Structure 1
Amino acid sequence: MRSVLIVEDNRDLAKTLMTGLDPLDVDVRLAFDGREAVRQASERLPDVAVLDIGLPVMDGYEVCRRIRALPGGDRIRVVALTTWGTVQDRRSGADAGFDEHWTKPLGLDLFVDLTRRQLLATVD
C-alpha cells in the first residue's frame, strides 16, 4: 500500500488533511514535529512526505535534508506545505531537497489532487 507522511504541528489541520486523503486508499501517518517526522520516515520510508516548514524541534528544511539522507530517501516525493511562500523560502526549499512547494491556505480538494499527482510521480 502506498503511504503518505504528513508533518504538521497544527493537529487539527493534520487530521483534516489525513481525512481528506481517505479516497486515495493510502496509508497516512502523522507527525507533529520534525524529530518525530524523521523517526517515522526512518522506520518506514513514505512514498510522499508533506512537510510544514515552521515545525517545532526541527524545521522542515532540516527534516527534508535528513529524510533525503536516509537509504531510499532520494526516491520519495517531498513537498513543502507552508505559509512560508517567498522566493527565498522556495529557494531554500529547493536547496534542502523539496520536490514542490505548496503555499497555505490550500483547499482540501486541491491538496488531495496534488497529493494524488505526487503519488503517481513516485518511483517504485
Structure 2
Amino acid sequence: MARLKVLIVEDDRSLADVLAYNVRQAGYEVISAYDGQDGLTQAQIKTPDLVILDLMLPVIDGHEVCRRLRADASTKDMMVLMLTAKSEESDQLIGFSLGADDYVTKPFSVKVLLERIKALVRRKRGSDNSHDDVIASQGITIDRRRHRATASGRPLQLTRSEFRLLETLTRQPGRVFERSELIDAALGEDTVVMERTIDVHIRALRRKMADEAELIETVRGVGYRFRDPGAVTEAGEEADFDHAGQN
C-alpha cells in the first residue's frame, strides 16, 4: 500500500523541519512549503492526502489557503489540519466553517499531533468504507461515493464537515442528535471543540439548503434532527430553523 502523503505548510522553518522529521518517522511521505502560495501550488501538483496548515502564513494566510483548497475540484477532498498559535474559539469556528477537518494550537506535543493525524486518517477510511452510497429523503439526496449532495435537484456546495453533518442527520429522520454526537459524526471523536461549533455548521448548512432549511429542526435544550415526514412535532419540542440569508 502506498504511503500517505502529508503536506506541511509552515513558515517557521525550524518547526517545519521538526514536524517533517517526526511525520516522516511515523511512516508518511512528507512535502514541505513555507508560505501560503507555495502550499497551494504543492497541493495542486503533489496531491497530498493531508495538509498540515499553519494559520499565520506569508503571501496567503492559512484561512484563505483552506478556502481555496476546498473550492478547487482537484484539492477539495484533502484532509486539512490547521496548526496555529491562535486559540480563541472564534478562530476555530472560522477554520471549521472554511472546511478544516481538525485544529491544533501551539504549543503542542508532537505525539499528540501524530495521534490527531492518525484519527483523521481512520475517520477518512471509515467514511469511505461504511454505509450505503446514496441516501435520499424529502428532496435531499446524498451520494457518498461521489461526495455530492443535492436539494430538490440543486447541487449543494458543502464543506467536508457540512457534508458529514447532513449525511448523519438525513440517514435517521426523526432521531434527535445531541450536539456532542454531531461533533463526533461531523468532526470526529478525537476533535476537541466547543459544542457551539456545531451551531455554526448548522447555520451555514441551512443557508446553503435555502428552501429546504426547515428540514433541519432544532430541539430546544437538546440538539438537532432531520424532520420525520411521518411524525408530528411533539409537545414541548419547538422546531426552529434559520431561513437562508439569516444568521
Aligned match of 1:59? 61
CA contact (8 A) 2:44 2:74 kept: no
**Partner letter of residue 29 of structure 2?**
D
1:116 aligned onto 2:118: yes
- Identical positions, percent: 35
Please give the residue correspondences for 1:1-124 in structure 2 after superposition, counting only pairs within 5 Å: 1-123=3-125
Structure 1 runs (4+) greater than 6 angstroms displaced: none
CA shift, 1:25, in A, is 1.7
Deviation for aligned residue 1:23: 3.1
- Relative to the length of structure 2, the TM-score reads 0.48
How far, CA to CA, are the matches of 2:34 and 2:25 in structure 1?
Answer: 23
CA distance in 2, matches of 1:67, 1:49: 10
The one-letter code sitting in structure 1 at the alignment partner of 2:103 is H
Structure 2 residue matching 1:30: 3-state secondary structure: strand
Q: Is the 8 A contact 1:47 1:122 kept in 2?
A: no
AA in 2 matched with 1:121 = R
Q: CA deviation at 1:14?
A: 0.5
Q: Distance in 2 between matches of 1:81 and 1:106?
A: 9
Unaligned runs of 5+ in 1: none
Between the aligned partners of 1:71 and 1:8, the Cα distance in structure 2 is 24
Deviations 1:5-58 (A, max 9, x none): 111110000010111112332111111000000000011221110101000000
Partners in 1 of 2:72 and 2:98 — Cα distance? Answer: 14
Q: For the residues of structure 2 that align with 1:9 and 1:61, how far apart are their CA atoms?
A: 15
Q: 1:121/1:24 Cα in 2 relative to 1: closer, same or farther (>3 Å)?
A: farther
What amino acid sits opposite 1:33 in the alignment? D
CA distance in 2, matches of 1:25, 1:100: 20
TM-score scaled by length of structure 1? 0.92
Give the Cα–Cα distance (whole angstroms) in 1 for the partners of residues 90 and 55 of structure 2. 13
Spell out, residue by residue over 1:61-99, the C-alpha distance to the aligned partner (whole angstroms, 9 max, x if none). Answer: 000011112224332210111011101101111122111
Letter in 2 for 1:61: H
Higher helix share: 1
- In 2, Cα distance between the equivalents of 1:122 and 1:18? 22
Give distance in 2, aligned partners of 1:82 and 1:51.
8
Per chain length, whose mean CA-contact separation is higher, i.e. which structure has more relative contact order (CA < 8 Å, sep 6+)?
1
| Structure with larger Rg | 2
Q: Give the whole-Å Cα distance in 1 for the aligned partners of 2:124 and 2:45.
A: 19
Work out the CA distance in 2 between the residues paired with 1:7 and 1:51. Answer: 5
Q: Describe the SS at the equivalent of 2:76.
A: helix
